[in-house]
Structure 1
Amino acid sequence: MKIASKIAVAAFGAFAAMGLFTSCGDDGKTLYLYNWTYYTPDEVLRDFEKEFNCKVKVDSYASNEEMYAKLKAGAKGYDIVVPSQDYASIMIAQGMLQKLDPSKQTNNSKINPLLSKMATYDPNFEYASPYYLGAAGVSVNKTKVQAGTYEKNWNIFADKKFAGHATMMDDMREVIGDALTVLGYDINTTDDGELAKAKELIVNNWKPNLVKFDAEGFGKSFASGDFWLCQGYAEVVYGEVPEEKWEDTIDFFIPEEGGPSYLDSMCILKTAKHAELANEFINYIHRPEVYAKFLDAFHFPCFVIPEAAQFTTKKPMYEASQMNNCKLKLDIGENLDKYNNIWQDIRYTD
């Protein structure tokens, strides 16, 4: 989930910009960034331009699928792209990315070492340099339910006090991943027996309390008071509740047992014409004082560059340590069909 996913015009804008990026003259001092919409603060881009005497032009996308399809269709001119972990692994395997220049990545030592263990597809960050780690969690509306009267784990969705006022995401990897976590299984499992048990948990214990599966509108329904309990990304809920009401309204947490997470990484395309400048940009983002500006812009938790926390000026939506036990949703190839079939049964079985 990205802030970008709310922007309905992103796809049109991306294709409109394709002609500009592929036809404009190349002065060697322009970096072409293909990123999620509103995912890099303008202040950071302008500061980079001043320091490196260059220009940064940004084109945007609203999903990994859109980005990948456009590149596979032959789009040229981009230098940096920011895929999530599953697409990063696919693009590495397909030879779509070039190795980062280790001599330029002097801030790699500042990256949270836990990420190396999580990113099994590129543990040494040779192709994909971490940009942001995020995870879905649980939001409880404190104006409707008294604090301390509910358990802070995934089985909160079986709590009858939330019946008729709860929702989980319309996202099979997230919901099934939560159930697998509760059962002690790998969130990327393809074992039929384990997946069957996860389905049983969701259908019998969680679904009876749910109003619906909702991937986008739950933030508005939470803010209006219709939903008291939501599974989803913090930024969706916080984005709908006025900032002055956050403290009194939202109790957001990621259960201690963990759950599915995503890792967006900065990658240099094989066809990039400005690899040197691209390497400089990636390393620049990892300066703690620069990364802090990114975090402050969105109230994001400080996980990727822990040292940046000392430079932040705004309180994050939740503490980064809550993601310590989360696991990345990895590409499971053709086994995704298993999840699709199970999800259809979950969604449409009474």
Structure 2
Amino acid sequence: MKKVLKKCFITAFLSLAFIGCGGEKESESTQKLDYKNAVYIYSWAEYIPTEVFEKFEKETGIKVIEDIYSTNEEMFTKLKAGAVGYDIVVPSPDYTEIMMNEKMLAPIDKSKISTYGNIDKRVLKKLESFDKGNTYAVPYTMSATILAINTEKVPNYEKDYSIYDREDLKGRMTLLDDMKEVLIAGLGMEGYPQDTDSEEGMKKASERIIGWKNNIAKFDSESFGKNFASEDFWVVQGYAENIYMELTDKQKEHTAFVVPQKGGSSSIDSFVILNSSKNKDNAHKFIEFIHRPEIYALVADYLMLPSINVPANEYVEETPLFTLDDLDKTELLKDTTPTLELQNKYWEEIKMHN
């Protein structure tokens, strides 16, 4: 999932000193690392609870060293440029698919993950749309792009993107400044999949989105949570956990987190192991540890997302912002590279339209 970071930080003891960006000679810092007693994770900021790292290290003696990226594109570009040293990466499904096609990933040895059977079969089935036999990816979370709605200001609404057709909310709504997220919404409302190569479909979606553009205040991928909390905007497209953290307890009572039932998109961020990993055994041990029910419950509570680990539901204490059932009608993000030129053409038209 494309996350708007709660905080941008880099693990102090990692930085980029030990991971090269190409070249034949490893840096002095790299040469001193004890690869056999560590696992190197490249992930989103504050995505895996520190408590989980600490428990894993205490039990196994394996040191977790984490580096941070802010977008899938940043992660992919760095790895393709020659960065080495990472074991586990946590891409969204579209980039998992791309990395598979680029032969960047090692197959998962499920015999080394005794907790694999805890994962909800519905989630595994969704991943099989591109990862046949669930060969390369072990799901970590399932989330969605949602609509946050201030129900004090907007008591009546449809649970889809038709809300952006409403002129009575003109200037009080925002959409993400993200081509893929917005086009999926527009295409879905017109009955087309995200990877359509139909010129007619893209034209219809573009015309619909231009209509939405006339009603929104702006495209915003940076401050939608803060601006929703300030009540400058009453309807925003974004990510539930990033909005929730900005709200007071009172505001939470009149905020609806809506998974659009038409035009909605979802994401399964997964653990993948790089072909270049020097610590594949440790990587499998970490993934196995995460999917222990009592450990995964810490993840679900921390992120306020639905548990994709079935027995973990007995340990979960927080109510998720939406459920797995809410995601049934959403379209899982996928690699749309073959239609990228067509998408760019219409997105440019949308952004340029006055």
Q: TM-score, normalised by structure 2?
A: 0.90
Residues 223 and 27 of structure 1: is their aligned pair in 2 closer, same or farther, counting only changes over 3 Å?
closer
Match of 1:83 among 72, 85, 91: 91
- 2: CA distance between counterparts of 1:73 and 1:306? 38
Could you tell me which of 278, 296, 319 is aligned with 1:273? Answer: 278
In structure 2, distance between residues paired with 1:282 and 1:307 = 16
1:40/1:294 contact within 8 Å kept: yes
Partner of 1:183: 190
Aligned length: 345
Are positions 1:28 and 2:36 aligned together? yes
Q: Secondary structure at the match of 2:342?
A: helix
In structure 2, the residue matched to 1:97 is: 105
Asked whether 1:325 is paired with 2:326, we answer: no
Corresponding residue of 1:297? 302
Higher deviation after alignment, 193-202 or 113-122: 113-122
- Aligned partner of 2:24 in structure 1 is none
Structure 2 contact 41–64 (Cα < 8 Å) conserved = yes
**Secondary structure of the equivalent of 1:136?**
strand
Preserved contact between residue 161 and residue 263 of structure 2 (Cα < 8 Å): no
Quote the residue 1:309 is aligned against: 313
- Which of residues 90, 107, 113 is equivalent to 2:121? 113
Q: What residue number does 2:231 align with?
A: 225
1:158 maps to what in 2?
165
Asked whether the equivalents of residues 260 and 327 of structure 1 are also in contact (C-alpha less than 8 Å), the reply is yes
Per-residue CA shift, 1:68-98, capped at 9, x if unaligned? 2222222222111111112211221222111
Whether the 8 Å CA contact 1:10–1:62 is kept in 2: the answer is no
Equivalent of residue 56 in structure 1, options 60, 64, 84? 64
Deviations 1:116-143 (A, max 9, x none): 3322221322111111121111111123
Residue 259 of structure 1 corresponds to: 264
The amino acid across from 1:15 in the alignment is L
Cα deviation per residue 1:278-320 (whole Å; 9 max; x = unaligned)?
1111122112221110111121222x22332221111222223
Residue 82 of structure 2 aligns with which residue? 74
Distance 1:8 1:107, change over 3 A: closer
Query: Aligned in 2, Cα 1:129/1:106: closer, same or farther, shift over 3 Å?
Result: same
1:14 deviation in Å? 4.9
Gaps of 5+ in 2: 20-26
Counterpart CA distance in 2 for 1:2 and 1:292 is 22
**Distance in structure 2 (CA, Å) of the matches to 1:17 and 1:108:** 32
- Any idea what SS the aligned residue of 1:124 has? helix
Output the CA distance in 2 between the equivalents of 1:249 and 1:124: 42
Q: Does 1:122 align with 2:131?
A: yes
Task: Kindly state the Cα deviation for residue 200 of structure 1 after the two structures are TM-superposed.
Answer: 1.4
2:289 aligned residue (280, 284, 288): 284
* 1:84–1:263 Cα contact (<8 Å) kept: yes
Q: Percent identity?
A: 38
SS in 2 for 1:143: coil
The CA distance in 1 between the partners of 2:11 and 2:337, in whole Å, is 25
Task: Measure how far apart 1:16 and its partner are.
Answer: 4.4
Shift of 1:190: 2.0
Letter in 1 for 2:60: F
Cα distance change of structure 1 residues 8 and 109 upon mapping to structure 2, 3 Å threshold: closer
Q: Residue 262 of structure 1 aligns to a residue in which SS?
A: strand
Change (3 A) 1:187 1:312: same
Once residues 15 and 4 of structure 2 are traced to their aligned partners in structure 1, the CA distance between those partners, rounded to angstroms, is 12
Stretches of structure 1 lacking an aligned partner (at least 5 in a row): none
Q: Distance in 2 between matches of 1:224 and 1:16?
A: 40
Q: Which moved more, 1:39-48 or 1:106-115?
A: 106-115
Q: CA deviation at 1:248?
A: 2.2
